Amino acid sequence: MLKRLLVLLSIGLLLISGTIAYATIVKGRVTVKGSDTMVIMVQRLAENYMAKFRGKIIQVSGGGSGVGIAALINRTTDIANASRPIKDNERSAIKKAWGKEPKEFKVALDGVTVYVHPDNPIKELTLDQLKDIFTGKVTTWKEFGWDDRPIIVYTRENSSGTYVFFKEHVLKNQDYTSKAQSMPGTASVVNAVSKEKYSIGYGGVAYAKGVKILPVKKDKDSPAYLPIEENIKKGVYPISRYLYMYTCEYDDPEVKAFINWVLSDEGQKVISDVGYFPVK
């Protein structure tokens, strides 16, 4: 009997020590989910933060702004990344789940960038011309003085905040052409456009590698602008936007510390190094 009690006591001590060890491992852990546009930026932020503050754990995953917001509604993430503002129905659902409003933090600036193949000779496009391309009203490059070849349109999945932002601000809430090829992430859009001569796509400015960036005009009588920091901060690039973090756990010291660091000069420098633009 004594031997059995000693065994049970040993098992109990192991379980307790395991629980303590697990608590030590997860202490300081913050989960961040959402925007594919933001995932490379937030991964870099997390890496720098964890290197600076040993023992902190920032777990970052993408999937799209809609995925991050859904995770916040389902209480399966501490922070939701979104490349668009949350909608009223999402805000209501978050409030219902948490019993309080989510806090919104504008953490970076971006210009939704129009990508074409490096061999594309087109110099610029207006918002209306982009709308015509992505809704399928214009289907060949001949309309813009180039080859009489079909325009291959690449877009994002509908869970993407960039998909929603582009639809609202460029397509004026009209539907994308049924011929558009939906891609699972911005990197996939860039990769496809870099290989297909007659294609076009869009996404965050930090992803624009191996493609040509087209300047965009508000209308035919306006100058064309590139998505560079000066133009975005002045508000003259016509598809500028903020990138957001949403949380209902800002009173958690670990969540608060991470977000505050992201907004610090040090965090904002990381954002600049990635290729987005600081909000400060």
| Inside any domain, residue 256 | yes
Question: Two tokens at 150?
Answer: 């079909």
Q: What is the mean pLDDT of residues 212-238?
A: 97
Tokens of 4: 């059995």
Q: Are residues 85 and 103 in the same domain?
A: yes
Express as a percent the part of the chain with pLDDT over 70: 90
Q: Of all residues in the chain, what percent carry a pLDDT higher than 90?
A: 90
| Same domain, residue pair 101 and 182 | no
Range of the domain at 217: 113-234
Do 149 and 209 fall within a single domain? Answer: yes
- Closest by CA to 239, choosing from 123, 109, 139, 146, is 109
Q: How many domains does the chain have?
A: 2
pLDDT digit string, tens, across residues 68-77: 999 999 999 9
Q: Do 55 and 127 reside in the same domain of the chain?
A: no
Residue 62: its pLDDT value, please? 95
Query: Is 220 in the same domain as 122?
Result: yes
User: Which one-letter DSSP state was computed for residue 112?
Assistant: P
Q: What single DSSP character describes residue 142?
A: G
Q: Give the tens place of pLDDT for each residue, 138-177.
A: 999 999 999 999 999 999 999 999 999 999 999 999 999 9
Same domain? For 131 and 204 the reply is yes
How many Cα atoms are found within 13 Å in the side-chain-facing hemisphere of 109?
Answer: 18
Q: One-letter amino acid identity for 192?
A: A
Assigned domain for 11 exists = no
How far is C-alpha 247 from the geometric centre of its chain's CA atoms?
A: 15
Q: Roughly what angle, to the nearest 10 degrees, separates helices 36-52 and 161-169?
A: 130
Whether 279 maps to a domain, the answer reads: no
Q: Are residues 176 and 99 in the same domain?
A: no
28 pLDDT band, cuts 50/70/90, is low
Q: What CATH number is attached to the domain comprising 89?
A: 3.40.190.10
212 with 127, same domain: the answer is yes
Kindly state whether residues 268 and 179 are assigned to the same domain. no
Both 213 and 250 in one domain: the answer is: no
Backbone angles phi, psi at 63, to 5 degrees: 110, -15
pLDDT band at 1 (very low <50, low <70, confident <90, very high): very low
Cα–Cα dist 263/248, whole Å? 17
**Does a structural domain hold residue 148?**
yes
Q: What's the whole-model pTM score? A: 0.88
38 and 139 share one domain: no
Same domain, residue pair 40 and 67:
yes
Residue 151 domain-assigned (yes or no): yes
The answer to whether residue 152 sits within a structural domain is: yes
Look at residue 240 and give its three-state secondary structure. Answer: strand
Q: Is residue 36 part of a domain?
A: yes
Residue 255 covered by a domain: yes
